[in-house]
Amino acid sequence: MADFALTRRFAGRSSIADAAFKASTWCFAVLVLVLLGAVIIALIDGALMALERFGPSFVITETWNPVRETFGGRAPMLGTLITSAIAMLFGIPISFGIAVFLTQLCPVWARRPLGVGIELLAGIPSIIYGIWGLFVLAPYMQAHVQPLLIDTLGALPLIGPLFAGPPLGIGMLTAGFILGIMVLPFIASIMRDVFDTVPSMLKESAYGLGATTWEVVWNVVLPYTRVGVVGGIMLGLGRALGETMAVTFVIGNAHHLSVSLLAPGTTISAALANEFTEAVEDIYQSSLIALGLILFVITLIVLSAAKYMLIRLQSRTGT
């Protein structure tokens, strides 16, 4: 009898607690959507003035003239995409190499210190990367890397113009390079984690058939972990697209776009960080918010594309 009462009491309590718990987790989940919606509404509301005044030409014109109050976002938009692309170009192969080494080749005793070292890279605040970029990397690029690029790649047809111009040290290439270093730990540590999930049996079987390490990585490990690898890359890309301080320090902050990667440029987040505080005129502020909206849309497109790719991959392999 007493047992029965106790059970009933617990049952009653837990159902209330359960319901409360369920409701509160619901609230938290919905809160995310509400916040997202609020951000979108605030951005559109703020950008409306600029979008009405300049229309679609906002994304294709390059003029950014706070004095005459004509604004176009082409330079920062393309700057964002180009620097992120350079970052991925540096970041992905190096991260892949790191992950392969750590999971397949590295002696066991060195795994932990190396792994921790890479994760520590992720913990460095971006302003430190910016300062390091300005005072250490940029002078080095100016003195050694850029003159070399100008003399070698700059002399080639087709890609030559990409590496033309004086070696200034700072510019799109340096910014992309810093971004590449910054996304390294994100991509590398995710790749390492997913590579570790590959069952030894699969790898051992491939080795047993006489496969080389490279063949095992390329034909067994990578296909098995595809989804995780793409996810890691997208996480890195997301970081590169939105990175602000480090880029602001080394990109040169010029609102015009040159063919040369060595020339100064700007990105959306750098332009916002630079100009928002002293943007007095309404249309100036509105144009900056419109840039923010564009960045939001770019990020949304990138993430949706990534999700779509993942779904395609999964349905194709049937996993």
Partner 1 sequence: MTPTLKTVTRSLAAGALLAGLWTAAEAADISGAGATFPYPIYAKWAEAYKAKTGIGMNYQSIGSGGGIKQIKSKTVDFGASDMPLEVKDLDDAGLVQFPMVMGGVVPVVNIKGIQPGQLRLDGTVLADIYMNKIKKWNDQAIAALNPGVTLPDRAIAVVHRSDGSGTTFIFADYLSKVSAEWKAKVGANTSVEWPIGLGGKGNEGVAALTGRTDGAIGYVEYAYVKQNKQLIYALMKNKDGEYVRPESVAFQAAAANADWAKAPGYNVLLTDQPGNASWPISGATFILMYKKQDKPETAKQVLDFFAWAYKSGGQLAESLDYVPMPAKVVDLVEATWKREIKTPNGQPVWSGPAS
Task: Report the interface residues with partner 1, using CB under 8 A.
Answer: 63-68, 134-135, 138-139, 142, 166, 168-170, 248-249, 252-255, 264, 266, 270, 273-280, 284-285
Residues 6+ apart with CB under 8 A from 30: none
Q: Which is nearer to partner 1, 154 or 169 (CB)?
A: 169
CA distance 224 to 301: 26
Distances (CA, A) of 18 to 8, 10, 32: 15, 11, 22
CB of 192 to partner 1, least distance (A): 35
- Token readout for 49 is 């003035």
Q: Which is nearer to partner 1, 274 or 299 (CB)?
A: 274
Contact 86, 267 (CB under 8 A): no
CB of 234 to partner 1, least distance (A): 29
Q: Which is nearer to partner 1, 140 or 214 (CB)?
A: 140
CA dihedral (201, 205, 208, 209) in degrees, to 10, reads -170
* Burial class, 94, CB count within 10 angstroms (exposed 0-12 / middle 13-18 / buried 19+): middle
CB of 152 to partner 1, least distance (A): 22
CB of 253 to partner 1, least distance (A): 3
Q: Which is nearer to partner 1, 97 or 166 (CB)?
A: 166
CB of 21 to partner 1, least distance (A): 13
Sheet strands (E) in 150-296: none
Q: Which is nearer to partner 1, 226 or 255 (CB)?
A: 255
